[in-house]
Amino acid sequence: MATYGYYRLVAAVPHIHVADVPGNIEQLVSAAHDAAGLGAHAVVFPEMSLTGYSCGDLFFQPTLQRAALHGLKDLAERTAELSCVLITTIPLAVQDALYNVAVVLQEGKVRGLVPKSVLPNYREFYERRQFRPAAELRVCEVLLPGFGTVPIGTDLLFSDGEGLVFGVEVCEDLWAVLPPSSRLALQGARVIFNPCASTELAGKAHYRRQLVAQQSGTCLCAYVLASAGMGESTQDVVYSGHALIAENGRIAAESERFSRSTTLTCADVDVERLSAARMSESSYNENRLPQEWQTVRKILLSPLADECDLRFARLQKRPFLPPQAQAEERCEDILNIQAAGLARRMEHTGAKSLVIGLSGGLDSSLALLVCVRACEQLGVAPSCIRAVTMPGFGTTGRTHDNAVRLARLVGADLTEIDIREACMKEFEHLGFDPSRRTTTYENVQARERTQILMNMANMHCGLVVGTGDLSEIALGWSTYNGDHMSMYAVNCSIPKTLIRCLIAHVGRSSSAELATVMQDIIDTPVSPELLPPSDDGTVEQKTEELLGPYDLHDFFLFHFMKYGASPQKLLALAKRAWIPDYDEETIQRTLSTFLHRFFAQQYKRSCIPDGPKVGTISLSPRGDWRMPSDASARVWR
């Protein structure tokens, strides 16, 4: 099986000449060997790449039809030593009718033929003049000269017997109301190949890109399209050689258009991940096909190369962060969802105030900004927000001052309550020696703060707004019934890496003074500040030195939760994405910590407060993640 479910898919656009079959075969053979040298598992060429798509009525000529068949035989013989799959189309006469037929070739053998279903017959295209649509085909196999009897039809699926199952549709098929790829995907195809000849018009590349991405998302599949290039006739139209590879709604790779030489567009596609997404997407499994579409013929391929070094995999280092082009809009959406959830909870409970513990760290700062936005939505003054800063044994001047300045700049009511004396009293009641810096020393402070916030909420008819984020919830990095508890947790589905992004977004539209405070909060090391600071007053207890980088934890959380990645796969993906930013030992150690804590701390997640879901991943025990608190991590570790 390919490495961790990854397959290397290639869209190859050779520089061909119209009707020059022998010359075109040279180009295809060279491109096939180049792609195989890159470790390709499957290669799709443009539509009619043996003959050229723009042959027009030359397709009626038996000479060109025979040349295409001879060319296909030559291509098969000269690529027979390759294990990768090659896909293109040829003009094929069947029962005195001509069809535009996709050819699936491997190890010198034609594995199957897929006729084009939808023939364009408008504007610059008159394909029905030469070809017949697949619906008119009355046979399920043909005698292909030089290859013997070969299955033909739109009901063919091809499989390597492991993770790769693919189907083929041809060019205009994708533009149909119901593309063949939709029903192929519902019958198991995880990859769709499209040998295409799409003309270039102003703005059409953008539309084509959207169409391919959308179909891959709708079908929860990978979609590989190779369109005819600059060698085609420019008599009335121009072909740009646009190649696209999409994976579940996003473009994974794209070629430069208008190249005058052969191009290879490569992507390492995680087919295993696509399968996992289908299991968790009810919309996929709830679809039902008409009875006549519920059977397919599956063609078993020879084994493919089992190694894939992931060099063409597009791995986001911080998968929770929005794409740069969508960052502003996405951040606004997230903040508005958080604020809307909190505003509705205030309306429902009749709360007159919002009570929040403000430490000057990332989480509580974002929660305060959400509180301000909720007040704006409700049309109430931000002074109803009661921000409480509660210095303890580990509070530093930097975080304290940032908390005070932030509260004042947004217009919140600020209260300062020093908890050290109360904690010393609690130590005395417990008979605990405060010189012992154990979890008791830390958790007494956390629970004292929560007690103050809850009591203050009672005094002022308010809600305690929780500040804990998704990363902390995943790792159980909170004090049970301390900062673990609140009346509404606005950050519960916001991972640590995204919090910095959201605060920076608000800072860009804030006053210079407020933006300066927010930037210093972003730059402050993450810490619970429960242990005394160092002699120079700086933070001594740094979370990421104890747990490992949140960059890695969030990366592991995303791939573990969304796609069920195994520990071995998590390690391989993280190494690919994060070396040299983090060394291998750090990645391995952090992964071990993540797996241990994720399982060990489920009991905290089983009783977390309500809070709004803003993305596809949430750990709410009421919907998104239902896991027993005593599940063993053994098989993952």
Total count of domains within the chain:
2
d(CA 608, CA 603): 9
Give me the catalytic one of 84, 116, 219, 423: 116
Selection from 321, 217, 301, 316 nearest residue 7 by Cα: 301
| Active site (annotated) includes residue 256 | no
Asked which of 489, 522, 538 is the last residue of a domain, the reply is 538
Q: Is residue 460 part of a domain?
A: yes
* Residues 376 and 288 placed together within one structural domain of the fold: no
pLDDT at 295: 79
Q: Is residue 568 part of a domain?
A: no
pLDDT at 131: 96
Res. 293 pLDDT band, cuts 50 70 90: low
Whether 50 contacts 42, CB under 8 Å: no
Average pLDDT, the chain: 95
Give residue-wise pLDDT tens across range 417-454: 999 999 999 999 999 999 999 999 999 999 999 999 99
Both structure tokens of 323: 């794409």
* Residues 284 and 331 placed together within one structural domain of the fold: no
| Active site (annotated) includes residue 171 | yes
Read off the CATH number of the domain in which 193 is found. 3.60.110.10
Res. 281 pLDDT band, cuts 50 70 90: confident
Q: What average pLDDT does this structure show over 189-203?
A: 96
Output the CA–CA distances (angstroms, integers) from residue 404 to 380, 386, 518, in the order listed: 21, 12, 12
Whether the predicted pLDDT of 1 surpasses 60 = no
| Active site (annotated) includes residue 47 | yes
Neighbours of 326 (CB within 10 A): 10
* Residues 448 and 506 placed together within one structural domain of the fold: yes
Measured over all CA atoms, what is the biggest interatomic distance in the chain, rounded to whole angstroms? 100
Q: Residues with Cβ < 8 Å from 123, sequence gap 6 or more?
A: none
Asked which of 523, 538, 553 is the last residue of a domain, the reply is 538
Q: What average pLDDT does this structure show over 275-295?
A: 80
* Residues 181 and 223 placed together within one structural domain of the fold: yes
Q: What average pLDDT does this structure show over 538-551?
A: 92
Q: Is residue 550 part of a domain?
A: no
pLDDT at 537: 79
**Exposure letters 417-449 (e unless 16+ CB within 10 A, then b):** eebeebbeebbeeeebebeeeeeebbbbbbbbb
Whether the predicted pLDDT of 225 surpasses 80 = yes
Whether the predicted pLDDT of 305 surpasses 90 = no
d(CA 317, CA 319): 6
pLDDT at 399: 96
Q: Is residue 563 part of a domain?
A: no
What percentage of the chain reaches a pLDDT higher than 90? 91
- Per the omega criterion (within 30 degrees of 0), is the bond before 290 cis? no
Whether the predicted pLDDT of 267 surpasses 60 = yes
Res. 190 pLDDT band, cuts 50 70 90: very high
Give me the catalytic one of 171, 219, 266, 375: 171
Whether the predicted pLDDT of 21 surpasses 80 = yes
Give residue-wise pLDDT tens across range 208-218: 999 999 999 99
* Residues 400 and 443 placed together within one structural domain of the fold: yes
- DSSP designation for 4: G
d(CA 360, CA 408): 12
Whether the predicted pLDDT of 123 surpasses 70 = no
Res. 538 pLDDT band, cuts 50 70 90: confident
Instruction: Compute the CA torsion angle 466, 471, 476, 481 (nearest 10 deg).
Output: 0
**Exposure letters 107-137 (e unless 16+ CB within 10 A, then b):** beebbbbbbbbbbbeeeebebeebbbbbeeb
Q: What are 178-185's contacts with CB under 8 Å, separation 24+? A: 179/215, 180/117, 180/154, 181/215, 181/219, 181/221, 181/223, 182/215, 182/218, 182/219, 183/289, 183/293, 184/157, 184/296, 185/219, 185/220, 185/221
* Residues 352 and 278 placed together within one structural domain of the fold: no
- Scan for tokens 């043996």, then name that residue: 50
pLDDT at 287: 83
* Residues 283 and 380 placed together within one structural domain of the fold: no
Whether the predicted pLDDT of 2 surpasses 70 = no
* Residues 528 and 424 placed together within one structural domain of the fold: yes
How much of the chain is helix, strand and coil, in % rounded to 5? 40, 20, 40
Q: What average pLDDT does this structure show over 370-389?
A: 98
Q: Tell me which residue range forms the domain holding 428.
A: 324-538
Q: What average pLDDT does this structure show over 356-363?
A: 98
Q: Is residue 609 part of a domain?
A: no
Q: Is residue 552 part of a domain?
A: no
d(CA 558, CA 560): 6
DSSP 343-380: HHHHHHHT--EEEEE--SSHHHHHHHHHHHHHHHHHT-
Q: State the DSSP H helix or E strand holding residue 462, giving kind and residue range, or none if neither.
A: strand 462-466
* Residues 295 and 328 placed together within one structural domain of the fold: no
Q: What average pLDDT does this structure show over 314-324?
A: 94
d(CA 218, CA 285): 12
Give CA 394 to chain center in angstroms: 39
Length of the chain: 637
* Residues 356 and 463 placed together within one structural domain of the fold: yes
Q: What is the end-to-end Cα distance of the chain in Å, rounded? A: 22
Asked which of 538, 564, 582 is the last residue of a domain, the reply is 538
pLDDT at 294: 67
Whether the predicted pLDDT of 164 surpasses 90 = yes
Both structure tokens of 217: 């998302």
Q: Is residue 554 part of a domain?
A: no
Q: What average pLDDT does this structure show over 529-546?
A: 88
* Residues 432 and 528 placed together within one structural domain of the fold: yes
DSSP 186-237: HTT-SEEEEEE-PBP-TTHHHHHHHHHHHHHHHTTSEEEEEE--TTS--SS-
pTM of the model: 0.91
Res. 125 pLDDT band, cuts 50 70 90: low
* Residues 331 and 296 placed together within one structural domain of the fold: no
Output the CA–CA distances (angstroms, integers) from residue 207 to 6, 176, 200, 214, in the order listed: 28, 14, 11, 10
- Scan for tokens 């890159």, then name that residue: 38
- 323 CB burial (10 A radius; 0-12, 13-18, 19+): exposed
pLDDT at 124: 61
Q: Is residue 579 part of a domain?
A: no
d(CA 502, CA 491): 11
Read off the CATH number of the domain in which 351 is found. 3.40.50.620
